[in-house]
Structure 1
Amino acid sequence: MRERPRVLVTRPGNRGEVLATTLSRYGLDPRPLALMHQQVLPETAAIRSVWLDFDHFSRVLVVSPFAAECLVEALDRYWPQLPIGPRYYAVGAATAEVLNRELGVKVHLPPEHVNGQSGRETSEALLTLPSLHGLAEQKVLLVAGEGGRTTLAEALSSRGARLTRLALYRRVFTAPDAAMQRCLASADFDALIVSSGELLEHLAGWCDIAALNQPLIVSSHRLATLAGNLGFAAPHVADSASATSLAAMTARVCGLDGGDVDQ
């Protein structure tokens, strides 16, 4: 019996480190499962044109913390004085935190409650905001990576927005190292955390029956449905994609109450 439940963390970069630190505070033993990294795309003439016309957009929607970091870097180069016209929106709190900290702007988030239920950090929840309805002829910028879901783009276009979808980075998927391949093959872990559909699909190819039957922590019901379709037998849905929500759900699944965590 392990002293601390072993948890595999697939979230890349700084956010993965934050999640690992939070898991440790809950009495868990986080292990990084490196399957993906994010690669900034070269700036093209089309991307440069968007930055030069940034003040023409009435709304700017940002889908991830890394997209927010790319946006901040570009605005720092092109707009030393930030234009006052655009209103900013983020799918999740971590993305909003980057925009607020680096740009000092107010950021609109999905509501805390949607249709009488607790809100989640999803595109669908963000689209319920009244200010994202009635967008006829308004210029809207969607800042994201290559690929991914099309929910936001399709909904905004259907509402009349003159939409520009700007892909600033790509996700590069890799094989787990030899040690992690052995870990997955033997299911030598107590829980697995995934908060991306593309990452979940990639990971499934490396999981055999034993790994598929271990607890999987995901950040939305959409991901839980996808997990079921991919053969994962025990998905658990956290309240959101935040490190605290994911860690709290993981602790519960692993039989820890998290009572000694500093709030």
Structure 2
Amino acid sequence: MTHPRPLAGRTIVVTRPAAQAAPLAEAIAAAGGLPLIFPLLEISPVADLAPVHAAAARLAECALAIFISPNAVEHAWPAIQAAGGWPAGGPIPAAVGQGTVKALAARGVHGCIAPTERFDSEALLALPALAKPAVDGKKVLIFRGDGGRELLADTLRERGAQVDCIACYRRQGPSGGVAPLLAAWRGGQLDALTVSSSEGLRYLVDLLDAEGRTYLAETPVFVPHARIAENAQSLGLRQVVLTDGADAGLLAGLHAYNWPHDE
């Protein structure tokens, strides 16, 4: 019989950026868990917004506008609004994940193309709308964070597209230090982490001292993508649990996990 509160008494760290942490934290709490929100990435607008406004002004000239994340939508949208909103008959909107599709839909942009299973650049590039016949000679805008992966842009350029990458937000590691995590670990009150960013995980490892890294290496870390799992293992984490994508996959993985001393 399935326990109605499968995470009862378990403290689970939610590491999504602050603006996106609530849905997973609430789902963990509903399952009896104790969510500890500890964003590994802090998101802020880029210092120079002129390129974002310039890109928004030429949306109508483009065949495709790709948004890498909900953060990209949030931080590009003021410029798009200032330029008159989403152009009628404008570019096909595209996204890497379903959270970004929802962020666009909430702003009235529908018909977004996105992968339905794996949520990464590789899956997006596999869609017919990004194949060479569809993009050859066409203008493409990619709205993303600073320092994002180059695979998407490079591959589209190889397929003949004219690609502009627009950094509309910046990411940095936690500015407040890791004391809350260390305190929870030392008190035996940290059962698992959910991690949805390889970059955020690297920030965490860099911030931890030897004691903290020892704790992290032995703590179950739930990740929704194989690439993050590989990076976690390369950083010395020994209990990496690969789940299905997005919050729903992380939550299902937490529910299914064989927690120690579980009756």
Check whether TM > 0.5: yes
Query: TM-score, structure 2 length as denominator?
Result: 0.87
With 182-191 and 143-152 compared, the bigger mean Cα shift is at 182-191
Change (3 A) 1:164 1:249: same
Structure 1 stretches lacking a partner, 5+ long: 113-118, 257-263
Deviation at 1:27, TM superposition (A): 2.3
Using the TM superposition, give the Cα deviation of residue 199 of structure 1 relative to its aligned residue in structure 2, in angstroms.
Answer: 0.2
CA RMSD of aligned residues (A): 2.0
Say whether the 8 Å CA contact 2:53–2:79 is kept in structure 1. Answer: no
Question: In 2 relative to 1, CA 131–34 (structure 1 residues): closer, same or farther, beyond 3 Å?
Answer: closer
Could you tell me how far apart the structure 2 residues matched to 1:139 and 1:3 are?
Answer: 51
Structure 1 residues 17-32: aligned runs within 5 Å = 17-32=22-37
Match for residue 176 of structure 1? Answer: 177
1:32-77 CA-to-partner distances (Å, cap 9, x unmatched) read 1233310111344433321221111100111110101122222111
Contact persistence 2:65–2:93 (CA under 8 A):
yes
| Residue equivalent to 2:192 | 191
Aligned in 2, Cα 1:69/1:104: closer, same or farther, shift over 3 Å?
Answer: same
Q: Secondary structure at the residue paired with 2:21?
A: helix
- Please tell me the residue identity of whatever aligns with 1:19: L
In structure 2, the CA distance between the partners of 1:46 and 1:104, relative to structure 1 (3 Å rule), is closer
CA distance in 1, matches of 2:86, 2:191: 49
Tell me if structure 1 keeps the 8 A contact 2:64–2:140: yes
- Superposition TM-score, scaled by structure 1 size: 0.87
Structure 1 residue 255, shift from structure 2 partner: 4.1
Query: Separation in 1 of the partners of 2:49 and 2:190?
Result: 44
Instruction: Report 1 or 2 for greater relative contact order, CA contacts < 8 Å, sequence distance ≥ 6.
Output: 1
**Contact preservation (8 Å) 1:215, 1:253:** no
Aligned residues: 247
2:138–2:162 Cα contact (<8 Å) kept: yes
* Residue 216 of structure 2 corresponds to residue 215 of structure 1: no
Distance 1:179 1:71, change over 3 A: closer
Q: Which residue is equivalent to 2:127?
A: 129
Shift in CA distance, 41/255, structure 1 to aligned 2, threshold 3 Å: same
1:139-158 matched pairs, under 5 angstroms: 139-158=139-158
Partners of 1:64 and 1:122 lie apart in 2 by 10
Q: What is the distance in 2 between the residues matched to 1:192 and 1:254?
A: 15
Shift of 1:3: 4.8
